[in-house]
């Protein structure tokens, strides 16, 4: 089974948790001081928000898979798209340890496909900090345009 993944950076985590909990009709599956995640069945999505120093807005999109065979299948399709892949094995991000493959689509949006191996006690394998952004590799970071510009 594959599950769509969206990760959004937010300005106010508690306000956003309240909004998305109301929108989805459920509380987060995981809630930390800087991160929240809903594993929804209807619609089937892994929706995450964080306040980690990035500008508010879309951080990245992805596809979560259940096993290494599904991960290998999607990696093959990424290779066929010839966009360049960054592979991370056993990496810690978003309070989980995962194997991942990253690409950037033609518009510059970071996509990850990953298989979660286990939960992790910290956001990124280090002691929690409020300034560290999400786990999108620096080479794949999306350049955001401020929504407040006229």
Residue 127 belongs to a domain: yes
Q: What SS3 state is found at 1?
A: coil
Query: Which pLDDT value is given to residue 18?
Result: 96
C-alpha 23/C-alpha 20 separation (Å) is 5
Q: 145 pLDDT exceeds 50?
A: no
Specify if 145 maps to a domain: no
User: 70 pLDDT band (50/70/90 cuts)?
Assistant: very high
Write down the pTM of the prediction: 0.74
More confident residue, 79 or 19: 19
Task: Report yes or no on 37 lying in a domain.
Answer: yes
Q: Tell me if 146 is assigned to some domain.
A: no
Say which CATH number the domain at 73 has: 3.10.180.10
* Among 33, 65, 63, 26, CA closest to 49: 33
Q: What is the mean pLDDT of the chain?
A: 82
Domain span holding position 12: 3-140
Decide if 118 is inside a domain. Answer: yes
Is residue 109 situated within a structural domain?
yes
With respect to residue 82, please indicate whether it lies within any of the assigned structural domains: yes
Q: pLDDT-derived band of residue 48, with 50, 70 and 90 as boundaries? A: very high
Total number of domains in the chain = 1
Q: Residue 74 — left, alpha, or beta (φ > 0 → left; ψ -120 to 50 → alpha)? A: alpha
Domain contains 147: no
Which of 63-72, 83-92, 132-141 has the weakest average pLDDT? 132-141
Q: Quick one: what percent of the chain has pLDDT higher than 70?
A: 82
């Amino acid at each position: 089974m594959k599950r769509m993944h969206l990760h959004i950076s937010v300005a106010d985590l508690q306000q956003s948790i309240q909004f998305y909990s109301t929108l989805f009709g459920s509380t987060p599956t995981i809630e930390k001081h800087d991160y929240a995640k809903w594993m929804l069945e209807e619609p089937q999505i892994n929706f995450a928000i964080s306040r980690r120093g990035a500008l508010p807005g879309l951080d990245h999109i992805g596809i979560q898979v259940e096993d290494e065979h599904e991960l290998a299948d999607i990696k093959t399709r990424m290779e066929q798209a010839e966009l360049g892949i960054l592979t991370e094995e056993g990496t810690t991000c978003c309070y989980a340890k995962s194997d991942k493959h990253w690409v950037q689509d033609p518009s510059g949006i970071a996509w990850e496909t990953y298989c979660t191996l286990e939960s992790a006690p910290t956001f990124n394998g280090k002691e929690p900090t409020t300034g560290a952004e999400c786990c999108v590799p620096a080479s794949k970071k999306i350049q955001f345009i401020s929504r407040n510009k006229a």
